[in-house]
Amino acid sequence: MKKANIKVTYIKVGDDIEIHYEERRENGMGTVKFSSEDKPRKSFTESFQALKTHVIDMCECPEDWEIEVNSLSLNYKGERKTMGAVIAATRKLLHSKTPLNIITPHKTINEVGGGKGDGRLFLTPDCVKIIGEVTGEAKLFLRGARINDDQLQIFNEFEDGEEVEDSQTDIEDEINNNDTIQIGDGKTDASQ
Phi-psi region of 128 (alpha: psi -120 to 50; beta: other; left: phi over 0): alpha
Higher pLDDT pick, 170 / 146? 146
Other Cβ atoms less than 10 A from the Cβ of 29: the count is 12
Phi-psi region of 129 (alpha: psi -120 to 50; beta: other; left: phi over 0): alpha
Q: What is the dihedral of CA 149, 154, 157, 159, to 10 degrees?
A: -20
114 touches 122 (CB < 8 A): no
Higher pLDDT pick, 31 / 69? 69
* Residue 4: per-residue pLDDT: 53
Higher pLDDT pick, 183 / 11? 11
Spatial distance between the Cα atoms of 56 and 10, rounded to a whole number of angstroms: 20
Q: Categorize the per-residue pLDDT at 183 as very low, low, confident or very high, splitting at 50, 70 and 90.
A: very low
Q: Categorize the per-residue pLDDT at 160 as very low, low, confident or very high, splitting at 50, 70 and 90.
A: very low
Indicate the pTM of the whole model.
0.74
Spatial distance between the Cα atoms of 190 and 2, rounded to a whole number of angstroms: 13
* Residue 30: per-residue pLDDT: 86
What residue ranges do the domains of the chain occupy?
2-112+121-168
Higher pLDDT pick, 145 / 150? 145
Average pLDDT rounded to a whole number, residues 73-86: 89
* Residue 62: per-residue pLDDT: 96
Average pLDDT rounded to a whole number, residues 147-168: 46
Q: What own/partner pairs with CB < 8 Å and gap ≥ 24 does 16-25 have?
A: 17/141, 19/138, 19/141, 19/142, 21/142
107-108/187-191 β-pairing: unpaired
* Residue 147: per-residue pLDDT: 75
Average pLDDT rounded to a whole number, residues 76-93: 91
Q: What is the pLDDT of residues 29-49, one digit of tens each?
A: 788 999 999 999 889 999 999
- pLDDT tops 50 at residue 182: no
